[in-house]
Structure 1
Amino acid sequence: MIKFVKNNIAFILIVLSIISVNAQEKTEPIFKDGEAQIVEAFNTPEKWIRHDLFVETTFDTDGDGKLDRMHVDVTRPYQTDTEGLKLPVIYESSPYYAGVAPDVDGVFWNVKHELGKMAEERVHPEVTRLGKRPIISNSQIKTWVPRGYIVVHSCSPGTGLSQGSPTVGGQNESLAPKAVIDWLNGRAKGYTEPYGNEEVKAFWTTGKVGMTGTSYNGTIPLAAATTGVDGLKVIIPVAPNTSYYHYYRSNGLVRSPGGYLGEDIDVLYDYIHSGDESKRAHNNAKIRDTEMKNGMDRITGDYNDFWAGRDYLNQMKPMKAALLMSHGFNDWNVMPEHSYRIYKKASEMGLHTGIYYHQFGHGGPPPIGMMNKWFTHYLHVIDNGVENETNKAWIVREGDKMSEPTPYKDYPNPDAKDVTLYLAGGAPNAGVLAPTKSPNEGKETLVDNYSFSGEALARAEITNHRLLFVTPKLSKDLHISGIPKITVKLASNKPAVNLSVWLVSLPWNEGRRVKTTDNIITRGWADPQNHKSLTKSEPLKPGKFYEISFELMPDDQIIKAGQQIGLMIFSSDKDYTLHPKPGTELTIDLDGTSLTLPVVGGMNGF
């Protein structure tokens, strides 16, 4: 009896030993300091499993009577097959993966015409699709697969092998990534072929999804999140376009994104439309030549239902994913207001939010360690404290590395207080910008001339094409954090006029690189015809004064002692606005015009 028991115990110990060895051999993600680490067994590109498929959506935008399917690729560690390992997903979607339209003459709208007029029709280039199955993109893969994630890409509707039509912010561009996330969670169907019936199951994932991407690729995570789709746990949009109105218009003014003078939403549609050639005529007729043509309104620039439907701020109620925003304060393409407006709303909704700002231009993701912690917490469910951090904002200070942001409690800086500055005349030289108001400063007039760039006008000692008002030299560093606001009382000698405002740091540093924007603190544009309403403009009565108030772009900048802050008011902005014939006169009532700056420390800081 004793011998029998001993034999059984020995057998059990052997079995337990075998189980223990197998458990040790099974590959699992590894975490250190709250971050997923590179695991050598996952860092084997030659063994990664890579395949593509087509996920069925809930819409038909190409009019063929069949639900559109999105082209999707998957890259995953081989252990998801050999060891039954289930991992979370990092997902990026884009309209750019399959190629874009060529840059040809006439593709952009001609901006040289009078305000309130329509330019002649532009050129519509065709896109030649690039790329072959099965791999759509290699972005994100080298970073995240070795750290224990599956990486998924998809082409957005009407691009690449994805069916349907681009809508540039329409509902289908939100429902497409939702369908992919639904498929990852077993709620939608995936197929091996675009029109076949052989299904593909996502048996290898936990269903937890994080999304990221830059520019349009950063817009799509927000679009997906606004659907409230289950499984999407966290998004990290980088320089996302969160409202196509704010991208192509500014306070009622037709205004181009920086670097793309004459671009509008229909230009972007043509630029990305790389899908099935046989469906393009239908898509063009329905989307570009009807919906966009009737809704975009390049004549008045008013906000309408077309633009409201492409403003993700209006669609955020269902959103439940955590949000880490990233943007550059000197991004004059997708301007920094795009991220701030969504961050602010998400914070008000009680979502876990964070924002990373830097001092450079378009793009620039948060440091990899920061992204890693957010993904690790929400996708691997590791308690690393990221949701309990007391600081919600990280800002790369002037001259610092992108990887070394300074943490702050929030953005704008909670210690920032509004300081109102008033104008004293001096045209055609510079006038004065000061926190004390002098009565009866009168009026000054500038003459519109688009042929002078904003930089040239800011540097000019004497010119009648702008009004410039500068502070005395700063006796100490001045920290601006938040959204400057301006109120302008003006009159024009014509029924329509461009209004442009720049806030600059002077003197202009000639030692910096050519075409620098380092001296530009922030900017703003507006249509005085929209002084009462953003949705309904009215022609100006020549000579009559109107008051218009609007916000400049968000900023967080430390302006060094010895510099002066300059407020420049002018009309047509060469690189951004329409170019009416020079000569329109814009008169500013100095007593009715003021600038409000968010200054850390308030008046004491100033």
Structure 2
Amino acid sequence: MKCSHPFVAVSFMFLSLLATDSLNAKPLDQGQQDAAAQNGHDEEKPVGPVIKDGEAQIADAFKDSDRWIRHDLWVETDFDSDGDEKLDRMHVDVTRPYQTEYEGLKVAVVYVSSPYFAGTAPGTDFFWNPRQEIGQKPTQRTVGPEVKRESNRLVISKRHTSDWVPRGFAVVHSSSPGTGLSDGCPTIGGKNESLAPKAVIDWLCGRAKGFTSVDGDDEVKAFWSTRKVGMTGTSYNGTIPLAAATTGVDGLEAIVPVAPNTSYYHYYRSNGLVRAPGGYQGEDIDVLYDYIHSGNPDRDEFCDCKVRDEEMAKGMARDTGDYNEFWAGRDYLNQLDDVKAAVLMSHGFNDWNVMPEHSYRIYDALNKNGVPTQIYYHQDGHGGPPPLTMINRWFTHYLLGIDNGVEKDAKAWIVREGDKPDKPTAYDDYPNPEASPIALYLSGNSPKRGNLSLDRKAGGGKEKLIDNFSFSGESLSQAETTEHRLMYVTPELKDSVHLSGLASLKIRMASSKPAANLSAWIVSLPWDESKNAKITDNIITRGWADPQNHRSLTEGEPLVPGQFYELSFDFQPDDQVIAKGQQIGLMIFSSDRNFTLQPEPGTELTIDLDTTQLTLPIVGGESQIRKCL
């Protein structure tokens, strides 16, 4: 869940900010501007955002960055997370049009908070070693180098200022607890990471105090704020808007989380299995703590001891992978009751870092709760915001109060294969309402490829595989013959197949050892070996599970070697069109080298094909799949 951020230092103007009772100027739509021009009163028209076609436009009055007002402050929270017996203060910067200082203009706010603004830890030598047996106590990891705070600069970030200040908004940034010049301890999803942005929003709405220094008494007031706030950000920066929204804070009207981590359990575990985010093998929540902890060095010892070495070491249960109270407290799905901000979520279907389930599970729940929601999915990897015009319509409606009909737009926007990110296709919802679950059955031919079909009586029997993490999932899926995976494929498709939603696997299996990894991929074959092909082009979706958790996610149990167990789990959500002439394949294997722990090779898994089935969400349902197979 790592992000790169441009850190460009600029000088600040230090201002003595005084409260004012001046009225907020109303946004002008294009008709009002034209009428004012025809009447010869351009110079007298009220200053405010310019609206055209339901979107805030870049306006001459706001686009000169040399005239923007920039300043920083510290907002006082209502918690003390670093144990110094003082309420933590969050470091905040503000960039706003000069009219807010000299002409009485009040503006809405686009707010971004991050743990990354002050830099992150160097090196990769402090990860957990994944070479261990399943279910065993992990070896002690090496604690890596501390974060070297990049500077004590007062400009936290310039991100998003060029998009929104010229359109008549203020842009606000803050460093999250225990990072940059903010007080507190990083907790990686703990309660203070929700309450910190809430405090900043409370300050923007006149309910919390801001000060010119981290320990001073000189107050700063947000007299220029309309008390309408929107939040956005990518990855961890996209998590924080959701965290703030779960507090139900008044004034937070809309959020646009991009590839947000909505559950740290789902980031570091999968159905009871210890499973790393893609690209960060061996990482766990305590590693992420060390990666971002750039705050006050005087409080490092307290934070390291209390948060990392006590709370995290006890709660993360790396030996079992079980879901527990520690993880439940860092799962925002459990905290949605108070969310009232409108939510536009964005994610990539090939994001194997913060996987696409993170946005889907929240979107689905908020949709059912009646919260205004839309979702934008693309076919690429980590990151990727919605087109600016979508975000603009969202903020223009919910922050400026313009009736542009955005709440009546399509619920789901999906960038189809080969299309540009700013040309998504509109759908009534996600998953596609026309998709229905279709069961496919397995017949064996191990160690070669078996068959995947609609025939309930297909083949059956039992087949074995031998675990060996030395082989990557990509190489196993391309192999014609291997004992290290089982592969079942459909005939060549006679027509394209549109998958939309959650595929699932119901499996009956036995292990030769008391614990084992279980991994499954759905792939499109043959493998595309063309020059411009991406590895993910052939990986439709993936899933992982711990057979020890076949009864309960919160309490695993050792397997009896040779005894069969039934379990079911979902793959990552997807929306993909599989082309005519391709084959859909189900690959079952044990250790997934780039994601799971890596035990000594040799564990045998036996799959009972008679009671194992793959369910695919197919647009057009059974009639469509029968035309294709």
The two structures have a TM-score, normalised by structure 1, of: 0.96
Residue aligning to 2:425: 406
* One-letter code aligned to 2:71: H
State percent identity of aligned pairs. 66
Residue aligning to 1:334: 354
Deviation at 1:210, TM superposition (A): 0.2
SS, match of residue 472 in structure 1? coil
Deviation at 1:25, TM superposition (A): 5.0
CA deviation profile, 1:517-543 (whole Å, cap 9, x unmatched): 110000000000000000010000000
CA deviation profile, 1:78-134 (whole Å, cap 9, x unmatched): 0001110000000000000000001142x1100001111123222222111113332
* One-letter code aligned to 1:451: S
What is the alpha-carbon distance in structure 2 between the residues aligned to residue 605 and residue 238 of structure 1? 33
Residue aligning to 2:577: 558
What are the within-5 Å matches in structure 2 for residues 463-478 of structure 1? 463-478=482-497
Contact 2:443 2:459 in 1 (8 A): no
Residue aligning to 1:15: none
CA deviation profile, 1:548-589 (whole Å, cap 9, x unmatched): 100000000000000000000000000000000000000000
Residue aligning to 2:522: 503
Match of 2:214 among 181, 194, 198: 194
* One-letter code aligned to 1:405: P
Match of 1:119 among 131, 138, 144: 138
Q: In 2 relative to 1, CA 529–430 (structure 1 residues): closer, same or farther, beyond 3 Å?
A: same
SS, match of residue 598 in structure 1? strand
Residue aligning to 1:206: 226
Residue aligning to 2:309: 289
* One-letter code aligned to 1:160: G
Residue aligning to 1:6: none
SS, match of residue 496 in structure 1? coil
Residue aligning to 2:446: 427
* One-letter code aligned to 1:210: G
> What are the ranges of 5 or more consecutive residues in structure 1 without an aligned counterpart?
1-18
Contact 1:327 1:364 in 2 (8 A): yes
CA deviation profile, 1:419-446 (whole Å, cap 9, x unmatched): 0000000100000000111266110000
What is the alpha-carbon distance in structure 2 between the residues aligned to residue 160 and residue 595 of structure 1? 48
What is the alpha-carbon distance in structure 1 between the residues aligned to residue 40 and residue 522 of structure 2? 67
Contact 2:444 2:459 in 1 (8 A): no
* One-letter code aligned to 2:570: E
What are the within-5 Å matches in structure 2 for residues 161-560 of structure 1? 161-389=181-409, 391-438=410-457, 441-513=460-532, 516-560=535-579
Q: In 2 relative to 1, CA 213–279 (structure 1 residues): closer, same or farther, beyond 3 Å?
A: same
* One-letter code aligned to 1:564: Q
Residue aligning to 1:63: 83
Contact 1:479 1:605 in 2 (8 A): no
What is the alpha-carbon distance in structure 1 between the residues aligned to residue 546 and residue 48 of structure 2? 58
Contact 1:110 1:262 in 2 (8 A): yes
What is the alpha-carbon distance in structure 2 between the residues aligned to residue 283 and residue 149 of structure 1? 36
SS, match of residue 547 in structure 1? strand
CA deviation profile, 1:275-301 (whole Å, cap 9, x unmatched): 011100000000000000000001110
SS, match of residue 177 in structure 1? helix
What is the alpha-carbon distance in structure 2 between the residues aligned to residue 440 and residue 594 of structure 1? 13
Q: In 2 relative to 1, CA 440–564 (structure 1 residues): closer, same or farther, beyond 3 Å?
A: closer
* One-letter code aligned to 1:169: G
CA deviation profile, 1:445-483 (whole Å, cap 9, x unmatched): 000000000000000010000000000010001000000
Residue aligning to 1:92: 112
- Compare CA radii of gyration and give the structure with the larger one: 1
Residue aligning to 1:586: 605
SS, match of residue 416 in structure 2? coil
**Count of residues in correspondence between the two structures:** 586
SS, match of residue 536 in structure 2? coil
SS, match of residue 517 in structure 1? helix
What is the alpha-carbon distance in structure 2 between the residues aligned to residue 439 and residue 365 of structure 1? 44
SS, match of residue 537 in structure 2? coil
